[in-house]
Each structure stands twice: as structure tokens, then as C-alpha cells.
Amino acid sequence: MEQRMYQDQLEVIFNDSRIREVRLRLQSNPFEVFMKNYMESQHYKIGYRTQGVLDVKCPTKRVTNYVTYDYKCDCFGQERTGIPCCHLLCAAKSDTIPYIKLINPRWLVDPDEPALG
């Protein structure tokens, strides 16, 4: 019960209403991976935008990742797991795209249900 109350507040805690749809539609374990990546994305910043590419950097690491406007990251995390990587989520937070559209349908409770956004 306590974990459910915590989950109900995630979109309020992070001030991001798009988390709600992910929380309601994603299976439990993939949701945990999503939230881990989401929290890690808090450390990343978008350096610059040029020719359809976002430069996503972490101030504590010397690695730079590149995310294209069609939401592909050069770390290939999303392709490997079906869950958006922290770099992709950093880029998505600066846009209005529903996070659920970045998740492989195999992780959804009901893949046939259309996205809200």
C-alpha cells in the first residue's frame, strides 16, 4: 500500500504529468527501469541543438551523447531495452512528446490502447 501511495505521487514529485500515463500503462518492472532512467536524466543537460541533433551532457562525466529529433540516442539504450535511456528522457523533457510513445509496446499492459497525448 505504501509503495502504491508513493507511485501515485511521482508525477507530483517530479512536476511532470507525463509520468502518470507511463505509470498506469507500463508493466511493473519496466516502470522501475523507466523511473531509474528518468531520475538519472535529472543530472543531464542539453548543451546545444544543431541540425536536428541535441547535445546531451552530464556535468559529472566527460561523455557526451547525441539525441536526434526523431528520438534516437547514440548509446542505443532504447533499442536494447525498449525503455528510453536517460539521455533520451533528458531530451524528451524539453519537448512535449508523451513518454509512452518512446516505450516499446511489448512493455505495456495493453499495447492496443492508444497514447493519451
> CA–CA separation, 63 vs 41, rounded Å?
14
Rounded Cα distance, 106 and 94, in Å: 26
pLDDT in tens, the chain (117 residues): 344 545 567 777 777 888 988 988 998 899 999 999 999 998 888 877 777 788 888 777 777 778 777 888 888 889 999 999 998 998 888 888 899 999 999 999 887 776 665
pLDDT at 5: 47
pLDDT at 117: 55
What per-residue confidence (pLDDT) applies to 114?
Answer: 66
Q: How far is CA 81 from CA 44, 78, 92, in A?
A: 20, 5, 17
Q: What's the pLDDT score for residue 1?
A: 38
As a residue count, the chain comes to 117
Report which of 50, 114, 37 is spatially closest to residue 83, judged by C-alpha positions.
37
Residue 86 and residue 2: Cα distance in Å, rounded? 26
Cα–Cα dist 44/77, whole Å: 15
pLDDT given for residue 115 in this prediction = 63
- Phi, psi dihedral angles at 61 (to 5 degrees): -125, 155
**pLDDT at 68 (0 to 100):** 79
The conformation of residue 42, written as its DSSP 8-state character, comes to: T
Residue-wise pLDDT tens digits, 89-117:
988 888 888 999 999 999 998 877 766 65
